[in-house]
Every structure is written in structure tokens, then in C-alpha cells.
Amino acid sequence: AATSSEWGYRPAEGAVSAVNPPNFSWLPQKGIVAWEIALEHESKPGEAIYHKSGIRYNVFTPPQTFPQGKFRWAYRGVDASGNTTNWSTPRLFEIAENAREMPMPDREELLARIPKSHPRLFVRPEELPRLRELAQGDMKKEYDELVARCEKLMKNPPPTAEPPKYGDISTKSEEWRAIWWGNRTYTIDALNGAATLAFTRLLGGKEEYGQMARKILMECAEWDPKGATGYRYNDEAGMPYAYYFSRTYSFVNDLLTEEEKEKCRKMMKIRGDEMYAHLYPRHLVSPYASHSNRAWHFLGEIGIAFQGEVEGADDWVDFAMNVFYNTYPVWCDDQGGWHEGNSYWNSYIARFTWWADIMRSAMGINAFDKPYFSQIGYYPMYLMPPGKVGGGFGDLNGDKTSSGNVTLVSGLAAQAGNPYWQWYVEQMGGPRSEGGYIGFIRGALPTVEAKSPADLPTSRLFAGIGQAYLNSTLLDADDDVQIVFKSSPFGSQSHGYESQNSMLLWAYGERLLIRTG
């Protein structure tokens, strides 16, 4: 049996799958080198309608859909000598009539979709001419903002000396915290600055921008990959190092010598291997670790940037895609709810949207085909109608405001093309860009026409997180009476906090009953 910290057997007995094909998951065991899975229709026991062998992970999403109906599935393992285990207990499940179709392309196809040349992250080489036209046309304002940022970086380049380690200071002391978080911001300033310079140059900016990006990149390549910014030493510095370095490498690739490329590859091989060793296979068995729910898609970024150039990069991409399809996200439900609350939802999903952009561009995978992401924007709409203060249950939510959702929901509306989410941000001053090169890329997406939620129910049950948001109106918090109930199957895990079986009351701009957990 699976423990509460394990993803377990999915689809579980009696489950109804909201996605077609289902995402299969089971518990691994020692000595098994590959897995098999078999699927049979309920009406034809003993007759497999689908069989797949040679599965690497303890999770699997087939590359094809199945007819609506009831099925049984089972799996078995194969050891290094070719001996098989018994078949598992068969589990009966149903594919919902309205299930969203989302087959997973196999490993070879996914890798083949990645461009062979650079850039590979956020934008493909063949997309550059259109973006350059926009930079001199409809998006000249956004391009000029990038140029202004680059000019500041040219006049005052970020320092690139390797940041310090902790030394002998006490863990979690104020001095320790200054280094812990300071090394994160120091790394971001250097390498995101380099990525901005390199991307702007790709849009037609000065060649000097590219040369400065190259200089910063190669100076940061001298840092010890297991030192102050190593992933296991300080993941808050190690994670941004990994993805901002990879973006810069891909954006500025044509300016690097083969010797410089090889230096970057050797260094990122060490960093990528360290991340992979920490995440695999654990994150496919027990995917609830908070920081790991960022790290897996950052590893995917490294894998795409260095695919075909670094041994192991293929595995990093394949692993990240299996996490996305099979065990992500964990604190959610298919209705769009988020157990941890608005603050951590905003923080973690904002970072995930980068991976959504990258998957779409590099591999043609639309994250918003997934049931959760197809509903994601309704969570802030129902919890925090325009003008509301207070982010409901969960960590750091007491003073959150609806306007604090605007930047993220602006991106979600553009990525998903959802008119209701577009309406939500327009009620609070209009869409707000993330800015920088990511903001430019999203600005190139098709325009979304807003639609009022007046035709939607004013209340919504987020069944999987055990929360119900009852509103008298979604149009304006100052006219709203809202009751929030929580009886969650997640209990008090992670940043969800205690407040189990309790309620909140809000009316006409005032918090009347607040959580006491």
C-alpha cells in the first residue's frame, strides 16, 4: 500500500479519469530494470487492448487515446536477467465521457521535436524573423524597454566574481541568511542580465549586447558547480544559476567558440547530474517536496538547452516530461484549486509558466490541455474577486490582494486564450506583463477578448482540495458576500496550514470571520 507521502497507484480502483489516456503510476521495487503495463476493457476480461513493455519509470502515459468506458489495468516488473514479477492487482477505472485528450508522445518523438540549432528556450530559430518584425512594429514599445534595460547593463555590468560560501557561521543565523538569499539575488542579477542582453541582441539589438552576455556567461562558468551556487549546497542559488545560465547559453550560442561551448557543457553536466540524482527516481514516487516542484522543470530547461550536446541531457528532458504528465502538480485538483493557498500558488505557478512557454515552443506540448491548467484561472477569480483583500486559507495569505494576481493571470489568460481570465485582469487596470524577454514573448501571443463572468455560477466547489468558495457576485468584491469552507483531503500538509473543517466570512470589503489555524 502507498503511504500518504507517496503518489501511489493511479488510476486507483473506481477512479474516473479526467484525462485520456490516463496517467498510470505504481510503486517501484528494488531489482527491477523495466516495467510492463497491460490494459483491458471491462467487457473483455483477459484480452489486452493495450500492452507496453520496456517502460523505464514507475509512471507511464500512453501515446494514444482510448474509447470512453471502463477498463482494468495492471503492471509487472522485469529484472536484469529478464525474469518477470507476477502481474499486479488489476484496478478498475473509467475514462470520463468529457475527458481531455492528452496522449504523451514517446521519448524519441519528444527529443526529435527540439531544434537542433539555437535558440531552443522560449523561441525557436525559425520564429526569430517574426519576433524581429514585431520588435520594429506592434511591439516597438516592449522592445525599447528591453533596449533601455540593456543600456543600463552595459553601463553598469553585474559583478561576476564567485559568491562566498557560508564558512563557520551558524546555520539560519541572520548572517547565514544574508549569504543564503544574497547569493540567489547575486546569481539572478548576473545571469538573467546576461540572458536579457543576449535575447535583445537576437531581436536586432546591438552586437555589443551579445558580447557582454558572452563575457558574463563565461565568467560565471568559472564558478565551482558544487560550491556556493551548487544545487545541493544552496538550491535557492543553484536553481536560478541552472536555468538562467542555460537560457543565456542558448540565446548567445552563435557567438561562442567551440572551446567556450565545451566549457559550458562540462560545467552544466555536473550541475545537471547533481539535480537529476536528487530528483530521480524520488520525485516520481513521492512528489510532495516543495522545492523539488520547481527543480524538475528547471532541470528540463537545462536538458533542452544542452540536448544532443551533453551526455544525460536526453534523460533530463524525458524525466521532466514524465513528471509533467504523471505527477505534477500535486497540491491541486481538476477544478483549478490549490491546497497551499494564494501566496504559494502565485509563486510556484509563475515559475511553471516559464516551462509552459518552453514546452510549447520546443516540443509543441500545450500545458493548458491538462485538466488542472485548463481551469487554473478560476481559482483566483472565485477566491479573490476584483478588489478583495485576503487570500483565504494557507501560508502568507492574510494580506494578499486580488491585484497581486494580475501579472500571473495576465500570462495565464494569454497562454490559455481564456476570455474570463482576461476579464479578471482588465477589472484591475488591465493586463500586466512579467516584463523582460518573457514578457516580450508572451506579448507576441494572439490577443484575447475579455468576457464577463456574469454568465457563470457565482460559487464553485474545488472538490480535490476540499474547499468551496460561495460568492454573491464575482464582479466586484465591494458588492460581494463570500463564505469559504475547508474540509481538505490534504489535511495540513505543506503550506496549507491547519484550519481544517473551518470557514471564512467576507462581506462588502470587510473580513468578518478569519481563520484561526
- Could you tell me if 247 and 305 are in contact, meaning their C-beta atoms sit under 8 angstroms apart? yes
Query: 123: number of CA atoms within 13 Å, CB side?
Result: 28
- Ramachandran angles phi, psi of 410, nearest 5°: -60, -45
Task: Report the pLDDT value the prediction gives residue 105, as an integer from 0 to 100.
Answer: 98
- The list of the chain residues with pLDDT below 70 reads 516-517
Tell me the C-alpha distance between 38 and 287, whole Å.
25
DSSP 300-335: HHHHHHTTTTSTTHHHHHHHHHHHHHHH--SSB-TT
Return the residue matching grid coordinates 497491460: 38
For the stretch 371-425, pLDDT in tens is 999 999 999 999 999 999 988 898 888 889 999 999 999 999 999 999 999 999 9
For the stretch 449-460, pLDDT in tens is 999 999 999 999
Tell me the C-alpha distance between 234 and 274, whole Å.
12
For residue 201, what are the contacts with CB-CB under 8 A and spacing of at least 6? 207, 209, 210, 213, 251, 252
Tell me the C-alpha distance between 208 and 264, whole Å.
21
- Could you tell me if 38 and 116 are in contact, meaning their C-beta atoms sit under 8 angstroms apart? no
Q: How far is CA 207 from CA 6, 255, 367, in A?
A: 51, 10, 35
Task: Report the pLDDT value the prediction gives residue 9, as an integer from 0 to 100.
Answer: 98
Task: Report the pLDDT value the prediction gives residue 492, as an integer from 0 to 100.
Answer: 84
Task: Report the pLDDT value the prediction gives residue 516, as an integer from 0 to 100.
Answer: 60
Which amino acid, one-letter code, is at 273?
D
CA quadruple 220, 225, 230, 233: dihedral, nearest 10:
-130
Q: How far is CA 304 from CA 110, 113, 123, 251, in A?
A: 10, 10, 12, 13
Tell me the C-alpha distance between 107 and 318, whole Å.
6
Tell me the C-alpha distance between 45 and 280, whole Å.
35
